[in-house]
Amino acid sequence: MIRVSAGTAHLLGFRNLNTDVMPKTAYLMTGERCIYNCGFCPQSKDASSRSDLLSRITWQDADINNLAKKIAVVFNEGRIKRVCLQVVTGRATMSGVRRITSTIKSLSEVPICISASFKNIGELKYLADSGADRITIALDAASPRVFREVKGGSWGKTMSMLTAASNLLPGRISTHLIVGLGETEEEMVNILQHMRNLGVRVGLFAFTPVPGTKMAYKNSPEPDSYRRVQAAYYLIDRGFINANGCKFDSGRLKSFGVTCSDLRKYLSNGKAFETSGCPDCNRPYYNEKPGGVIYNYPRKLAPNEIEDAINTVLQTLEGVR
């Protein structure tokens, strides 16, 4: 079974959606009702959410052959730059995932990333060999404490897999981290630095409460906290700062260890506040309601948006007025 996100279905001509930003990546999902029980996920084992949801996005069924043809057309027209295949750990099999990837790759050169959980590194290699240019292993939680509380399962095993994967396929591994699961900014900044050291790209997500999940009643992160974490990731990823140089007060970021004018200079292109993750992944409205807080900008920011975002970061830092 294969599904496409609402925005992708619109892009491929399967439905009409009123949207102001198009996805630059075609988002696909295979499998349903995960064997794991992450508190935030509508696909988790015990969630009573609608089964066509992942985060706040609806997904619809598609036929793989038709889908592969449409993807080839929009890729050749330059309207998408990548395919993202999310594998829900349940009924999806590794051979089924490999067939999907091979079918898409048989019709175009579109880069594909596969986001899945793996029992061993052999499984990961098996999928990478099917033509995927990137593999994502979602850590989601920023620390062992939050992982235990929100996901269950083994932080150690996921970290070992990320480490082994980054050694096996250097520069081709991504992870997801969700801001607002109960971590401190200090925990988030430290794990962002660790991922940078491993050469793993990070897709930052804002926790989004979804009806029917265990965490349905928890709030999304405070926008100012999210902006500090986005800034931290960008600055760490570009090598402008190191987590060791940051200062925290009760877990909250107080200093990036650089001057205010340097911070303004580093953040001035607004890239820190755009969607992060695999190249060309913009995930429009994945965490955002239209008209609400834009956590991840799926497009370039306007100058006033850059100014607002930078001021939000600066206003709570130590010694910055």
Are 154 and 148 in contact by the 8 Å Cβ rule? The answer is no
- Among 4, 71, 80, 84, interactor with ligand SF4 by CB under 6 A: 84
How far from each other are the two terminal CA atoms of the chain, in whole angstroms? Answer: 54
Measured from the CB of residue 82, what is the shortest distance to ligand SF4 in angstroms?
6
* Residue keyed to tokens 């190191």: 242
Nearest-approach distance from CB 279 to ligand SF4, in angstroms: 8
- Closest separation between CB of residue 245 and ligand SF4, Å? 27
Residue closer to ligand SF4, measured from CB, 136 or 193? 136
The answer to whether 102 touches 45, Cβ cutoff 8 Å, is: no
Orientation of helix 260-267 relative to helix 303-315, angle to 10°: 150
CA-based Rg of the chain, rounded to a whole angstrom?
19
**Distance separating alpha carbons of residues 42 and 212, to the nearest angstrom:** 7
Question: Whose structure tokens read 């069924």?
Answer: 61
Using rule CB under 6 A, residue 203 touches ligand SF4: yes
Residue 256 or residue 297: which is nearer to ligand SF4 going by CB?
A: 297
Assess 113 for contact with ligand SF4 (CB under 6 A). yes
Whole-angstrom Cα distance, residue 8 to residue 27?
Answer: 6
Name beta bridge partners: 59. 5
Mind spelling out the 3-state secondary structure of 44-86? CCCCCCCCCEECCEEEEEECHHHHHHHHHHHHHCCCCCEEEEE
Provide the mask over 125-154, with x wherever binding to ligand SF4 is found by CB under 6 A and - wherever it is not.
Answer: -----------x------------------
158 sits near ligand SF4 (criterion: CB under 6 A): no
Q: At what angle do helices 155-168 and 121-128 cross, to 10 degrees?
A: 40
Question: 3-class DSSP state for residue 192?
Answer: helix
Cβ 318 to ligand SF4, closest distance in Å? 32
**Number of residues this chain uses to bind ligand SF4 (CB under 6 A):** 12
User: Minimal distance in Å, beta carbon 32 to ligand SF4?
Assistant: 18
- Residue 195 is a binding residue for ligand SF4 (CB under 6 A): no
Among 8, 25, 30, 230, binds ligand SF4 (CB under 6 A): 25
Binding marks (x or -) toward ligand SF4, 39..78, rule CB under 6 A? ----------------------------------------
Q: Which residues contact 295 (CB under 8 A, 6 or more apart)?
A: 206, 220, 221, 223, 226, 287, 288
The answer for 154, left when phi > 0, alpha when psi is -120 to 50, beta otherwise, is beta
Question: In this chain, which of 8, 55, 101, 115 binds ligand SF4, going by CB under 6 A?
Answer: 115
12 CB-near residues (< 8 Å, 6+ apart): 4, 26, 67, 70, 71, 74
Sketch the per residue contact string, 165 through 194, with ligand SF4: x for CB under 6 A, - otherwise. Answer: ---------x-x------------------
Least distance from ligand SF4 to the Cβ atom of residue 59, Å: 13
Residue closest to ligand SF4 when measured from CB atoms: 277
For ligand SF4, the closer of residues 196 and 253 by Cβ is 196
74 vs 310 by CB, closer to ligand SF4? 74
| DSSP letter (8 states) at residue 221 | P
Question: Is residue 298 at the binding interface for ligand SF4, with CB under 6 A as the rule?
Answer: no
C-alpha to C-alpha distance for 26 and 12, rounded to whole angstroms: 9
Task: Annotate each residue in 252-291 with x if it binds ligand SF4 (CB under 6 A) or - if it does not, as one string.
Answer: -------------------------xx--x-x--------
Q: Which residues bind ligand SF4 (CB under 6 A)?
A: 25, 84, 113, 115, 136, 174, 176, 203, 277-278, 281, 283
